[in-house]
Amino acid sequence: MDDADLAVKHEQRAEERARSRRMLAKPAKSSASHCIECSDAISQARQQAVPGVELCIACQTISERKR
């Protein structure tokens, strides 16, 4: 591994640490009890697993496929 490779790895690690700090600093908004797209209920387990969740699993899947 040469100096350029080491520099790239160092920069990637620094970016990952910065991203982690930003995520931890963000106040978690409360999860929705019902999907904002289809109005189906969002399970308690999903609400706890994904803080700030607004979409049910089906609508989240559709949203991710559109990207």
Strand partners, 34: 41
What digits encode the pLDDT tens for the residues 11-38?
999 999 988 887 777 666 899 999 999 9
Distance separating alpha carbons of residues 63 and 51, to the nearest angstrom: 18
User: Taking the model in full, what pTM does it have?
Assistant: 0.57
Helix extents (H) in the chain: 3-25, 44-49, 57-66
- For residue 43, give its domain range: 3-66
pLDDT score, position 27: 62
**In total, how many domains does the chain have?**
1
The mean pLDDT value of the chain amounts to 90
